[in-house]
């Protein structure tokens, strides 16, 4: 399987830098044959169409749905023979009908389900349509016609937790999720483990609020669309003294961002994409982001299907193949000590080498 072209964070001379998250994907295509209108993108006479089904939250959720659509657009921009479309899911009840409608469309060469919650629906519809190609993000579906894309986000969030513990002034940090599913708790596990690693190295006692790794219990809004619930949870953690907060909730994280911005004494670590770019209205509070390069993974899946590659391929994004990464510090760059940067760089290398193990019950299985 070809590896995705993804982000890379480098530390040199004490300065952190990273490549942008396929930033061109958010702009109109430059190819004169590519067109974008509503839920379609690309030339109407393209011979291959990638048909994406979103999770709740919308294609402009500043998180995994938007990253997925960016991947579709990147594939279209690179190949005029490919076009893209998406069907919006407003609730879990829409998964199967949207997947089935895409599978029934003879123009769809690949049906992509975005989000681990869609695994059962993808399994059902893929079994019904064994002659069609499917793909899923954030889950592994063991069927001969499903291409699975997973991400070991515990690794990038481990770095995020270490960063949070190294920059907190109160000795309290927090993480919370949208729904308690593996694609969410994997970030929370990594974050808590990274804080624990910092405490071990520096003999400190930074506390993680919102998640108990041992018990696998914590704070969740129960959905990916209630920003008011995200704000309420964040306000609760701010009131308890947390000054670095890591929401793992897609667009619900925007509620947390608004609370942190209003408080004026805390920062946030975003997920999935580089929050500094994805939610620029909150860039002044984005310390960093625990990213997974969904866009590149989806582009590879589309290219694989277009080239008539393996139907049941599997991609697992890690620090090693740059499928997950810690984002730059942007406006916090001068606030992160050089020693902490150096430790993060070494820690990243150690995780890749296997000398530091990052585990999570939600991590992709071998």
CATH code assigned to 21-151+294-317: 3.40.50.2300
Kindly list the domain boundaries of the chain, sorted by start residue.
21-151+294-317, 153-292+325-353
Comparing 21-151+294-317 with 153-292+325-353, is the CATH topology the same?
yes
pLDDT at site 58: 80
Report the helix count and the strand count for the chain, using DSSP H and E.
10, 18
Tokens representing residue 109 in the block: 């060469």
Looking up tokens 């004026």 gives 264
- Residue 266: its pLDDT value, please? 98
Residues 153, 351: Cα–Cα separation, whole Å: 12
- For 56: left if phi > 0, alpha if psi spans -120 to 50, otherwise beta; the answer is beta
For 104, the enclosing helix (H) or strand (E) is helix 95-104
Cα torsion through 72, 258, 360, 158, rounded to 10: 90
- pLDDT at 62 (0 to 100): 79
Length of the chain: 366
Residue 358's contacts (CB-CB under 8 Å, 6 or more residues apart) are 152, 154, 155, 158, 190, 193, 351
* CA distance linking residue 315 with residue 298, whole number of Å: 10
The whole-angstrom separation of Cα 243 and Cα 264 is 10
Lookup: tokens for 365: 């299985």
How many angstroms separate the CA atoms of 22 and 296, rounded? 8
Give the 3-state secondary structure of residue 196. Answer: helix
DSSP string covering 248-282: ESGGGHHHHHHHHHHH-S-EEEEEES-HHHH-GGG
How many Å apart are CA 253 and CA 235, to the nearest integer? 12
**pLDDT tens string 272-284:** 999 999 999 999 9
Distances (CA, A) of 294 to 226, 239, 323, 330: 23, 34, 8, 22
pLDDT digits 0-9 by tens, 15-71: 333 333 333 333 333 333 344 446 999 999 999 999 999 988 788 887 889 999 999
Closest alpha carbon to 247 in 168, 187, 190, 159: 187
CA nearest to 102, candidates 121, 117, 120:
121
**Strands 48-53 and 82-87: what pairing?**
parallel
pLDDT by 10s per residue, the chain, length 366: 333 333 333 333 333 333 333 333 333 333 333 444 469 999 999 999 999 999 887 888 878 899 999 999 999 999 999 999 999 999 999 999 999 999 999 999 999 999 999 999 999 999 999 999 999 999 999 999 999 999 999 999 999 999 999 999 999 999 999 999 999 999 999 999 999 999 999 999 999 999 999 999 999 999 988 999 999 999 999 999 999 999 999 899 999 999 999 999 999 999 999 999 999 999 999 999 999 999 999 999 999 999 999 999 999 999 999 999 999 999 999 999 999 999 999 999 999 999 999 999 999 998
Three-point CA angle 11, 17, 19, nearest 5°: 125
CATH architecture for segment(s) 153-292+325-353: 3-Layer(aba) Sandwich (3.40)
How many whole angstroms separate alpha carbon 126 and alpha carbon 146?
7
CA 188-63-56 angle, 5° bins: 95
């Amino acid at each position: 399987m070809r590896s995705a072209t993804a982000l890379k964070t480098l530390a040199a001379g004490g300065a952190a830098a990273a490549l942008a998250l396929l930033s061109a994907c958010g702009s109109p295509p430059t190819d004169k044959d590519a067109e974008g209108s509503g839920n379609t993108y690309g030339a109407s006479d393209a011979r291959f169409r990638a048909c994406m089904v979103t999770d709740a939250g919308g294609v402009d959720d500043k998180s995994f749905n938007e990253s997925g659509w960016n991947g579709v657009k990147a594939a279209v921009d690179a190949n005029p023979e490919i076009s893209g479309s998406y069907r919006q899911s407003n609730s879990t009840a829409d998964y199967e009908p949207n997947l089935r409608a895409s599978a029934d469309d003879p123009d769809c060469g690949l049906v992509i389900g975005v989000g681990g919650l869609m695994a059962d629906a993808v399994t059902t519809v893929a079994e019904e349509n064994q002659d069609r190609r499917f793909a899923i993000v954030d889950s592994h579906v063991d069927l001969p016609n499903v291409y699975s894309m997973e991400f070991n986000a515990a690794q990038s969030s481990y770095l995020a937790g270490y960063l949070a513990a190294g920059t907190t002034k109160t000795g309290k940090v927090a993480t919370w999720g949208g729904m308690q599913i593996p694609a969410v708790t994997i970030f929370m596990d990594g974050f808590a483990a990274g804080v624990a690693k910092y405490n071990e190295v520096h003999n400190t006692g930074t506390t993680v609020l919102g998640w108990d790794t041992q018990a696998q219990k914590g704070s969740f809004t129960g959905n990916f669309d209630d920003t008011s619930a995200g704000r309420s949870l964040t306000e609760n953690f701010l009131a308890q003294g947390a000054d670095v907060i890591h929401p793992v909730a897609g667009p619900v994280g925007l509620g947390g961002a608004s609370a942190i911005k209003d408080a004026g004494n805390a920062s946030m670590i975003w997920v999935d994409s580089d929050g500094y770019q994805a939610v620029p209205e909150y860039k002044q509070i984005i310390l960093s982001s625990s990213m997974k390069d969904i866009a590149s993974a989806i582009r590879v899946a589309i290219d694989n299907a277009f080239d008539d590659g393996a139907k049941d391929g599997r991609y697992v994004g890690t620090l090693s193949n740059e499928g997950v990464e810690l984002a730059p510090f942007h406006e916090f760059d001068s606030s992160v000590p050089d020693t902490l940067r150096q430790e993060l760089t070494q820690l990243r290398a150690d995780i890749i080498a296997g000398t530091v193990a990052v585990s999570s019950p939600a991590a992709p299985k071998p």
